[in-house]
Every structure is written in C-alpha cells, then in structure tokens.
C-alpha cells in the first residue's frame, strides 16, 4: 500500500471531523451523506447497519437517547491507497467516545478500519468496521 498524498490526507481528516460532528449533533441526513448509498457500518450493533436511511437513524436515535451529550474524537489517522488505485483508501484511526449526560465519562474506545472511495473532490465511506473496547450503545434498528 502507498501512503495517501497530503491533500488527500487533509480531505479525509476533514471528512472524519464531519463524521464525528454530524453524528454527535444528531444530523442524520448530513451524516448519512458522508457514506456511499449502500455504505455499511459494522461493529456497533449485532448486525451491520446498511444504507443511508439506516445510517441516518443511528445518528438521530443516538442523539435523542443521550440528549445530544455524546462526543466522538477521531485520532491517530493514517491512510493508504488501495493497491493499484488512488480512488480507494484504507484509513485506520482510533475513536474515543465520551458522554456528558447524568453519568459523564468514558463511553467507549474503538479501533476503526474505514474504506473510502473518491467522490469528485471528496470522499464517501464505503465501510467502517469498528472494534469496540466496551459494549455498544443499544440502538434500535
């Protein structure tokens, strides 16, 4: 694998910032728009979450359950182009999640392995596969 260019790294880092901000603010449509139409989120619920409608629901329902008091911080991002192309990227990062409601503190820590595909000047998430270090939030599907 080949490391991504600085421009692509900055663009992917911005994408992850929006990913964290939109999910924390319950901006379901905006969060889902960061994904491919059939994007897949693996590891936060017993079954993978597939497609923008289901992804949007994750953001809005989590926001409602915790009254907007959940916060994500993505860190230690490194990204490589998939073999033979600069239009698919494998990104790896940590996601620290804290809660600030009636029981503030650490919520979970996740190792994230994300596949992104180039979309014009930006990126869309094809898949985010996470390994949680604490039980996942119970989100109705």
* pTM score, whole prediction: 0.92
CA 6, 12, 18, 21 dihedral sign is: negative
What confidence score (pLDDT) does residue 136 get? Answer: 55
Please report which confidence band the pLDDT of residue 134 belongs to, taking 50, 70 and 90 as the band edges. Answer: confident
Q: d(Cα 48, Cα 70) in Å, to the nearest integer? A: 21
Strands 35-42 and 70-81, sheet pairing: unpaired
Other CB atoms closer than 10 Å to residue 140's CB: what's the count? Answer: 8
Of residues 135 and 45, more confidently modeled: 45
| Dist CA 22 CA 111 (whole Å) | 19
What DSSP string describes the chain?
Answer: -EEPPHHHHHHHHHHHHHHHHHHHTT-HHHHHTTEEEEEEEESSSSS-EESHHHHHHHHHHHHHHTTT-EEEEEEEEEEEEPTT-SSEEEEEEEEEEEE-SSS-EEEEEEEEEEEEEEETTEEEEEEEEEEESSPPP----
At residue 115, what are phi and psi to the nearest 5 degrees?
Answer: -110, 125
Q: What is the pLDDT of residues 16-52, one digit of tens each?
A: 999 999 999 999 999 999 999 999 999 999 999 999 9
Q: Does domain 2-132 have CATH number 3.40.630.10?
A: no
Q: Average pLDDT, whole number, for the chain?
A: 93
- Distance from C-alpha of 51 to C-alpha of 104, rounded to nearest angstrom: 31
């Amino acid at each position: 694998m080949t490391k991504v260019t600085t421009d692509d790294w900055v663009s992917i880092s911005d994408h992850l910032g929006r990913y964290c901000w939109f999910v924390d603010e319950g901006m379901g449509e905006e969060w889902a728009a960061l994904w491919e139409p059939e994007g897949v989120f693996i590891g936060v619920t017993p079954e993978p979450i597939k497609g923008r409608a289901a992804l949007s629901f994750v953001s809005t329902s989590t926001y409602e359950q915790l009254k907007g008091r959940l916060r994500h911080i993505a860190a230690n991002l490194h990204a490589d182009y998939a073999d033979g192309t600069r239009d698919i990227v494998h990104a790896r990062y940590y996601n620290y999640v804290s809660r600030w409601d009636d029981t503030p503190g650490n919520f979970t820590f996740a190792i994230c392995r994300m596949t992104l595909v180039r979309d014009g000047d930006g990126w869309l998430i094809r898949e985010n596969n996470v390994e949680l270090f604490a039980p996942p939030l119970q989100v109705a599907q």
